[in-house]
Structure 1
Amino acid sequence: MSEFAKALSVSSSGLRAQAARLRHLSENISNADTPGYRRKTISFETALKDRDAVSEVAVGRVRLDKTELETIYDPSHPLADEAGQYDGSNVNLLIELADAREAQRSYEANLKMFEQTRKMSSGLMDLLRR
């Protein structure tokens, strides 16, 4: 495997990982008002590809955040108990938006690396053709 192919492989694995992260963050944001919804988090792991010792990013297991669900007082809500309370979600929109911004910037950095590697490979091919 050439060095260009390795670089493209590493950056594309980063793109896939950040895309998965953004997908889960958008699910969390869209379900912020869903009663009983628990925030999803994912972890990243290192995956060795082949015997070339190329470390790529792999998405780990999806986990549910174990923090307490918000207790909401609304006696008119259909899920309210006899005290007029029900469990909301544990999604904090401020945290989700900050995580989304970080994931977006990481995605853009991986995309820039992919584009630069592709341009360098193309430039090398042009030089070899001369």
Structure 2
Amino acid sequence: MAIERMFASMDIGATGLSAQRVRMEVIASNLANAETTRTPQGGPYRRRVVVLRSVPPKVGFRTVLRSSLVALRTTRPKHILPEWERRPTSGYGRGVEVASIAQDPSPFRRVYDPSHPDADEDGYVLMPNIRVLKEMVDMLAAQRAYEANAAVIQAEKEMAGRALEL
């Protein structure tokens, strides 16, 4: 096993921890602004969402070379392909990262409250496009994903410790 792949799961878990931490911070901001009708930009607060993407695998010389070679066709069952031909050549994933923090384009809620200072001439107030229940469910999902990534890192640490004992 190559040394760079030895701790790959720890790196992947760390990227997951970082991404889920950002996700929880954005959800907390959404919940804190669920009733904000006036922002410095004007208008109600607009819900934000975290967009994640997978980190592409490292592409080195060996990967490029393997992908450019023509596959060896075996004509007899006793012919054995070299080991590198049997393994996938697409590389290994390196986790996730935050691609962007986007604004949710869904429409604002209209609430009838003629006494509100931001009410229009018909008595309606534009409220943020945040559904508190959905945000709480998303927060729980982000928390569980964070815990899963922390468990991956802990398991990797334990395996590395056992390997050093051998």
Q: What TM-score, normalized to structure 1? A: 0.90
Match of 1:45 in 2: 53
Match of 1:85 in 2: 124
Identity %: 30
> 5 Å matches for 1:13-32?
13-32=15-34
Residue 72 of structure 2 is aligned to residue 33 of structure 1: no
In 1, Cα distance between equivalents of 2:159 and 2:5: 11
In 2, Cα distance between equivalents of 1:84 and 1:2: 63
Residue 63 of structure 2 is aligned to residue 61 of structure 1: no
Bigger Rg, which one: 2
In 2, Cα distance between equivalents of 1:4 and 1:33: 48
In 2, Cα distance between equivalents of 1:48 and 1:58: 10
User: Equivalent residue of 1:59, what SS?
Assistant: strand
**More divergent stretch after superposition (49-58 vs 61-70):** 49-58
Please say if residues 4 and 117 of structure 1, whose CA atoms lie closer than 8 Å, have aligned partners that are also in contact: no
In 2, Cα distance between equivalents of 1:109 and 1:120: 17
In 2, Cα distance between equivalents of 1:27 and 1:54: 34
Match of 2:88 in 1: none
In 2, Cα distance between equivalents of 1:123 and 1:2: 18
Please say if residues 29 and 93 of structure 1, whose CA atoms lie closer than 8 Å, have aligned partners that are also in contact: yes
Q: Shift in Å at residue 9 of structure 1?
A: 0.6
Structure ranking higher in strand proportion: 1
Which of residues 75, 98, 121 is equivalent to 2:137?
98
Match of 1:10 in 2: 12
Structure ranking higher in helix proportion: 1
User: Equivalent residue of 1:42, what SS?
Assistant: strand
Residue 117 of structure 2 is aligned to residue 109 of structure 1: no
Aligned length in residues: 127
Q: Shift in Å at residue 78 of structure 1?
A: 1.2
Query: Which residues of structure 1 form unaligned runs of 5+?
Result: none
